[in-house]
Structure 1
Amino acid sequence: MIRFGAVMATLGLLLSASAAAEADPAAAFLAWARDHAVPLPACDDPSMAAVGRAAGTARMIALGEPAHGAHEPLAFRNCLFRHLVEQQGFTAIAIESGTSEARRLHDYVAGGPGDVRQLVRESLSWGFGRFAENVALVEWMRAYNADPAHARKIAFYGIDMSGGDSSGAWANARITLDAALAYLARFDATDSRAVRGAVEPFLGRFTHPAHAALSRAERRRLRAAVDGLARYLDRHGDRLAARSGRDEFDWARRNAALARQLDHMFRTSAPSGEELSPEDYRADAARDAAMADNAHWVLDREGPDGRVLLFAHDGHVMNAATRGGIWSVYRRAPKAMGQHLRAALGDQLFIVPIASGLNGAGLPPVAPGSGSLDVALARVGYERFLLDLRPARTAGPAAGWLRRTQSIRANHVTQAEISPATAMDAVVFIATLTAAHVPEAR
């Protein structure tokens, strides 16, 4: 028979542990995370199925990466997308790259012409075309679509504003206007002459610095010309689609919308400098709103049965405004793409950023003491795992820590401030990141 004193001693230890957890929310979260983490040991269906189960019937999974140019998030994305397509009926992937530029990759995976390495290099923004992981993704998609056993073909999209470059000048922004005007010149040359004529004088000045140099009257004329282009396509959509086919028309209309997005950003923000300034939040706000709009367009194109994997930086996909770290200088915290999408899609959006522990070969060391969320997850004990945070949002000892402001590492050398309880539905943790693979030039 167990002695009464031993029972009371055991009960006392349990109560002490419970009290300690309540007194130390970080310890409570760590204990909860260790109990609920799902290891992701391999690039295989059993591991990737854990993410699919957590997402449930959501039409869009927003997967984030903590920084651009790391191998592990890109490789994880590729594995996850293959599983989602083959096992859960996903129909498209949309990544943080120029929407108009990515049209060539959209066509290539559908069987169009071209050399895959050259197309990826030339069609992805921000230098992402250098990475072998992106080439591998496009090659797999083309092979999947070439198999006649796959009746429903899958699609590749960019969802970023078009014309972006490392200088911040948006030097290639005119690609949007060029594409829309070329469509009208081909399918509606006579009737659209006036609309095209209003836009053409501004083609060489459709960059952020050049827009800033326009007079107030010129800016008004440019805005009217871009709006007129979009309205013309809307007004004559049925007639134009009958001539060109619906797909060609949809891309022309999207290019006009992309030009509108750029004109709005040019009008409401100053060109970027070498350092962030308090008013630079305006450009970030315009860009994230545009990306959300483009993501909606992708979802609409995929139809009621379509499901999309969205892949972008953690700061874009999370349901949290951009604040903290290098962004502390902003006068206001701009609204992120994930906030726009959450408001529109509700639980049809599943947000899962990637957090990381250390940086390995080819990447700068992480900032010491940064990323309270990353640090906590690193103590869970697995090299790679999924943690669904939704069960701990409102109840239990971990809820308090999740509702507090925490930090998540970003761009290797800084961090963003978030409340994990609302910023994400789940998180994938990867212990060590290494540089993305850059193949030697052929």
Structure 2
Amino acid sequence: MVRDLQHTVHPLDAAAVLRLFPGRPQILALGEPTHGAGALLRLRNELFRQLVEQEGYRTIALETDCLAGQVVDDYIAAGEGGRDAAVLDDIMARGFSHEWGAFPANRELVRWMRAWNERADEEGRPDADRLRFAGFDGPLEIQAAASPRAALTALYEYLSARVDAELLPCTADVLDRMIGADARWTEPAAMMDPARSVGQSAEARELRLLADDLAALLDSHAPQLIATSTVQEWDRARLYGRTATGLLRYHFWMADPSPARMTRLLAVRDALMADNLLALAERGPVLVSAHNSHLQRGLSTMRMWDHPRLEWWGAGALVSARLGERYGFLATAVGSIRHQGVDDAPPDSVEGVLSALGADRCVVYGPGLSALLEGSVARVSPWFGYAPLDPAQLADLDGVVFLQDVPED
């Protein structure tokens, strides 16, 4: 089996990755099997830098809060702050969710993106050559979803400055009163107990209608709004609309007591991710980093609490259905994560076969990979934070980025 694979194995670099595709994918996604591993994030940074420098990618999107990500995007635009460490500390704290801002490799990525834009300014390069940063996840923490206030008020302020007041579905005071206290939306107990969620209250139901009306104004007045806005203002207004309606939909299903509750929540989250990626791709080619489960083309699955198996279509599956060959997906696989108890992979697992290739890191071309690895078994991880590759998903991969060992940082 290893001998059959040798001709599909190449050193990991941008050129080898792009040879996987008939043309440059509009969205090129790099998945990871575990979050926060420094070695994987540094590998991502290196590959993304090459793809920016050699292949013309200009947007980098990470699995982090799409609203908070605007803080990072503004910073790398080479505005105020420069190389001041305290300013960057603040950007990393406010611009990332899920504590991703604490990881050194993410900090280094932000610093490098800003430096690129500073050089672009100094050399007088066109705006199209500048880098953009985006979070493409919703403002959804593991234990709670955000209040819709930030997205709704930003959307309302954008519209109220550009359309006649009588077209707005309510006043700003009414909107504020309908949202109410943010704490009732972010109640941590609601994740486990739907009865603690405000998402299906009378006020929340009416707020969903208001959000829908505000989002509809964006569509019905698009010619006027585009003409009176910068590209960034228009893009962010659309982001506020998607986020407001998506958040309220998520809160609605948090209050659902049915057995389908968690499946619906997972699906709503990934649908919002997909919409954000498709919107970014309208402006140019995008590099994406997230967990393999969000980016794969097949059904995503997981176990959670008393749910033995949850299934939903992830963002990658949704985007791939829309873009076809313009969506590219590389899954990352690892041989070992010894400090987490993930030792050498069984030789008949996908990771075991890849380990036997003898490369510390490489890219393995996807076409035919499923047939070449026929008979391989699913690896079972002793650590909940790592998800091995599913042999049943191999046919849907464009390639596998393989790292032999993930050391403790």
Settle same-fold status: TM greater than 0.5. yes
Q: What is residue 311 of structure 2 aligned with on the other side?
A: 333
SS of residue in 1 equivalent to 2:299: coil
CA contact (8 A) 2:185 2:198 kept: no
Post-superposition Cα deviations, 1:171-207, rounded to whole Å, max 9, x if no partner, equal 3543222322333455558454825445322333444
Relative to structure 1, the CA distance from residue 173 to residue 222 in structure 2 (aligned partners, 3 Å threshold; closer, same or farther) is closer
Residue from 367, 371, 374 that aligns with 1:400: 374
3-state SS, counterpart of residue 48 of structure 2: helix
Equivalent residue number for residue 280 of structure 1: 262
Match of 1:180 among 131, 151, 155: 155
- Aligned partner letter, 1:145: N
**Residue 3 (structure 2) pairs with residue 31 (structure 1):** yes
Task: Spell out the pairing of 1:201-216 with structure 2 (5 A cutoff).
Answer: 201-203=177-179, 204=181, 205-207=184-186, 209=190, 212-213=197-198, 216=201
> How far apart are the structure 1 equivalents of 2:37 and 2:131?
25
Match of 1:62 among 24, 29, 44: 29
C-alpha displacement at 1:417, in angstroms?
3.9
Give the equivalent residue in structure 1 for 2:400: 427
CA contact (8 A) 1:390 1:421 kept: no
| Partner residue in 1 for 2:291 | 313
Letter in 2 for 1:298: L
User: Alpha carbons of 1:328 and 1:220: their partners in 2 closer, same or farther (altered >3 Å)?
Assistant: closer
Q: 8 Å contact 2:178–2:203 — kept in the other structure?
A: no
Return the alpha-carbon distance in structure 2 between the equivalents of residues 68 and 260 of structure 1.
28
Deviation of 1:31 after TM superposition, in Å, equals 2.9
Q: CA RMSD in A?
A: 3.0
Pair 1:122-2:94 in alignment: yes
Q: Does 1:268 align with 2:253?
A: yes
Aligned equivalents of 2:292, 2:309: Cα separation in 1:
21
Moved more, 204-213 or 133-142: 204-213
2 CA distance for matches of 1:354 and 1:421? 12
Question: Residues 351-378 of structure 1: CA distance to partner in whole angstroms, max 9, x if unpaired?
Answer: 1011111115xx5222887893222222
Closer, same or farther: CA 64–281 of 1 in aligned 2, 3 Å: same
Q: State the alpha-carbon separation in 2 of the partners of residues 32 and 121 from structure 1.
A: 47
Gaps of 5+ in 1: 1-27, 41-46, 437-442
* Preserved contact between residue 62 and residue 311 of structure 1 (Cα < 8 Å): yes
- Aligned residue type for 2:205: R
Question: What's the TM-score, normalizing by structure 2?
Answer: 0.84
Q: Take 1:399 and 1:414, find their aligned partners in 2: how far apart are those partners? A: 18
2:114 match: 142
Structure 1, 57-66 or 192-201: larger mean CA deviation? 192-201
2:355 & 2:373 partners in 1: Cα distance?
19
Q: Does the residue aligned with 2:24 lie in a helix, a strand or coil?
A: coil
Q: Please say if residues 242 and 272 of structure 2, whose CA atoms lie closer than 8 Å, have aligned partners that are also in contact.
A: no
Instruction: Spell out, residue by residue over 1:256-301, the C-alpha distance to the aligned partner (whole angstroms, 9 max, x if none).
Output: 11111111122234489xxxx874222111111110111001001x
Letter matched to residue 17 of structure 2: V
Q: How far off its partner does 1:332 sit?
A: 4.4
Q: Which runs of 5+ in 2 are unaligned?
A: 82-86
Partner of 2:51: 84
Instruction: Compute the displacement of 1:388 (Å).
Output: 0.6
* Paired residue type of 1:334: W
Secondary structure at the aligned position of 2:31 is classed as: strand
Q: CA deviation at 1:211?
A: 8.0
Per the alignment, in what secondary structure is the counterpart of residue 194 of structure 1? coil
Task: Report how many residues are paired.
Answer: 385
| Worse-superposed segment, 411-420 or 87-96 | 411-420
Letter in 2 for 1:199: L
- Supply the distance in 1 between the matched residues of 2:153 and 2:402 (Cα, whole angstroms): 42
Query: Using the alignment, how far apart are the partners of 1:257 and 1:378 within structure 2?
Result: 42
Residue range with higher mean Cα deviation, 124-133 or 426-435: 426-435
SS of residue matched to 1:156: strand
Q: Which moved more, 1:211-220 or 1:82-91?
A: 211-220
- Give the secondary-structure state (helix, strand or coil) at the position aligned to 1:412: coil
User: Which amino acid in the other structure matches residue 271 of structure 2?
Assistant: A
Q: Given the superposition, is the C-alpha separation of residues 117 and 185 from structure 1 closer, same or farther in structure 2, using an over 3 Å criterion?
A: farther
Residues 301, 309 of structure 2: 8 Å contact kept: no
CA contact (8 A) 2:300 2:313 kept: yes
Q: Which deviations, in whole Å up to 9, do the C-alpha atoms of 1:372-410 show, x marking residues without a partner? A: 3222222221111110121445xxx616347xx745868
Once the two structures are aligned, what percentage of the paired residues are identical? 29
Instruction: Flag the structure with larger Rg.
Output: 1
Which range moved further: 145-154 or 347-356? 145-154
Cα pair distance change 1:240/1:59, threshold 3 Å = closer
Which residue of 2 is the match for residue 343 of structure 1? 321
Alpha-carbon offset, residue 212 of structure 1: 2.3
Alpha-carbon distance in 1 for matches of 2:231, 2:59 = 19
Rounded Cα–Cα distance in structure 2 between residues aligned with 1:268 and 1:250: 27
Partner of 2:209: 224
Equivalents in 1 of 2:134, 2:24: separation in Å?
Answer: 21
Q: Name 1:440's counterpart in structure 2.
A: none
